[in-house]
Structure 1
Amino acid sequence: MNKDYKTVAREASDEFVEKRSRFIGYVKPVKTEEEAVAFINQKRSEHWDARHNVYAYSLREGNIKRYSDDGEPSGTAGMPVLDVIVKNEIYDVCVVVTRYFGGVLLGTGGLVRAYSQGSKIALESGGIVLMQSCSLCEVSCSYNRYGKVSSLVMENGATIDDTIYESDVKIKFHIPPEQLSQLNKKLADATSGEVQAESDGESYFMTPLNS
């Protein structure tokens, strides 16, 4: 099972006007329903005078998905917001789309398009990122091998997190788990089997995505 997943990097917002109605899309990374509900309530409080505060959220833990039309016709608001999240395969995220009514009815299709757009611009403003599960590793080598070893680490898909200079040099790095054995083979070939990287657990690291 692939542990990697997409989410957003930060809390953010964007807005647009459609036939005099103002739509504000808000997004926040969340891990729990409590965090999602707190964010929704915060936006409801900020925009108590808005006609609608529509929301949707998707959580990895328990594969939980919730949405609300908040008074808009059924299926025209909350579900379109959630659909954008689901189609982009984004998790641990909450989106609130606030609408200040401008006096012109948008119709069913217009509402679906507007709330989809509100969700889309909110997610884009939050910065969609890949959370990649990586092995936390370290490798020790003599000073005269340091240049070669550090180069091999970086050339084989790893990112160096820290370098400690003691009697030997210790390089701490993270790497996608499936690439560790290839790196260790290269290290063994380059050092006559003297240098090997050791893994000590896993953690998630954020990689920006263009889309």
Structure 2
Amino acid sequence: MVSYLTILEKGNWEQTIDKSRFISLVFPVKTVEEVNLGLEKARQLYPNARHYVYAYRLYEGKLEKSTDDGEPQGTGGRPVLDVLQFRELWDVLVVVIRYFGGILLGTGGLTRAYGGTARQLLDQLEVSRLVSHTIYEVEAGYNWYETLKYQYRLNNWVTGSEDFSATVKVEVFVRDEERQKFEERLAEFTEREVVCREKGSILRAESVGSRC
């Protein structure tokens, strides 16, 4: 079963340290192409900055990368990537932009500034867990509709679209780890009077709040 933490919303946060302005942006991403679009957007939103430090992690292929963009090696991108790794976040791009204020911060100061600006932003955002679900279509007579809806709620099986025609067809999203339980339970309490078909799979988001 696929299951990982991510952030599904964009966000920004900034602070000023010794006259340098640090701005952090977060973008949900799935591919390197989307990463590049996010970087382009960051440069458009905040032009003429001295540095565009960034880090990202992509779940597909377990790909992760960071760059210091002209800052001393290991003082920019690495601290941002450390924040993403510590929080176990995937499919996320974080860009930290610096407008230089004329005062040198030193390697320790830069590390704290870039890592801290990324951390402050992520502290304010909701974290979601993406979990693989199997999509079922359950077809039944109208006499089963309310009973089935009750069972879905009782077992935390999420429903989707509904089609009311000669019979009732309802989409049901079931965690992959609960497939056997769902199929057995459905057959048991309906005495096999309903039709259940697999329609594919999907990653669904489940909120886990913030991870400070």
Structure 2 length normalisation: TM-score? 0.89
Q: Does residue 27 in structure 1 map to residue 26 in structure 2? A: yes
Q: Does residue 84 in structure 1 map to residue 70 in structure 2? A: no
- Residue 193 of structure 1 is matched in structure 2 by 192
Checking the alignment, whether the CA contact within 8 Å between 2:141 and 2:194 is kept in structure 1 is: no
Give the distance between the partners of 2:205 and 2:138, measured in 1 at CA: 23
Task: Measure how far apart 1:24 and its partner are.
Answer: 0.6
- Residue 181 of structure 1 is matched in structure 2 by 180
- The superposition leaves residues 91-148 of structure 1 with CA deviations (integer Å, 9 ceiling, x where unpaired) of 2221110112233333322221221122223434554221111000111222222111
Q: Can you give the 5+ residue segments of structure 1 that lack an aligned partner in the other structure?
A: none
User: Higher mean Cα deviation, 186-195 or 59-68?
Assistant: 186-195
Give the distance between the partners of 1:3 and 1:123, measured in 2 at CA: 23
Q: Does residue 53 in structure 1 map to residue 55 in structure 2? A: no
**Equivalent residue of 1:197, what SS?**
strand
Task: Measure how far apart 1:45 and its partner are.
Answer: 4.2
Task: Measure how far apart 1:18 and its partner are.
Answer: 2.4
Q: Which amino acid aligns with 2:118?
A: S
Q: How many residues align?
A: 210
- The superposition leaves residues 39-98 of structure 1 with CA deviations (integer Å, 9 ceiling, x where unpaired) of 223323443322221111111233222211112111111100111112222222211101
Matches within 5 A, 1:1-211: 2-124=1-123, 127-195=126-194, 197-211=196-210
Q: Which runs of 4+ in 1 moved over 4 A?
A: none
Give the distance between the partners of 2:198 and 2:155, measured in 1 at CA: 15
Give the distance between the partners of 1:198 and 1:156, measured in 2 at CA: 19
Give the distance between the partners of 1:141 and 1:21, measured in 2 at CA: 64
Give the distance between the partners of 2:120 and 2:196, measured in 1 at CA: 43
Give the distance between the partners of 1:45 and 1:86, measured in 2 at CA: 27
Give the distance between the partners of 2:188 and 2:63, measured in 1 at CA: 47
Checking the alignment, whether the CA contact within 8 Å between 1:156 and 1:179 is kept in structure 2 is: no
Checking the alignment, whether the CA contact within 8 Å between 1:157 and 1:176 is kept in structure 2 is: no
Q: Which amino acid aligns with 1:118?
A: T
Give the distance between the partners of 1:79 and 1:170, measured in 2 at CA: 51
Give the distance between the partners of 2:60 and 2:188, measured in 1 at CA: 42
**Equivalent residue of 1:147, what SS?**
helix
Checking the alignment, whether the CA contact within 8 Å between 1:153 and 1:183 is kept in structure 2 is: no
Structure 1 length normalisation: TM-score? 0.89
**Equivalent residue of 1:209, what SS?**
strand
**Percent identity at matched positions?**
37
**Equivalent residue of 2:209, what SS?**
coil
**Equivalent residue of 1:208, what SS?**
strand
Checking the alignment, whether the CA contact within 8 Å between 1:136 and 1:201 is kept in structure 2 is: yes
Task: Measure how far apart 1:174 and its partner are.
Answer: 0.7
Give the distance between the partners of 1:188 and 1:34, measured in 2 at CA: 45
Checking the alignment, whether the CA contact within 8 Å between 2:174 and 2:182 is kept in structure 1 is: no
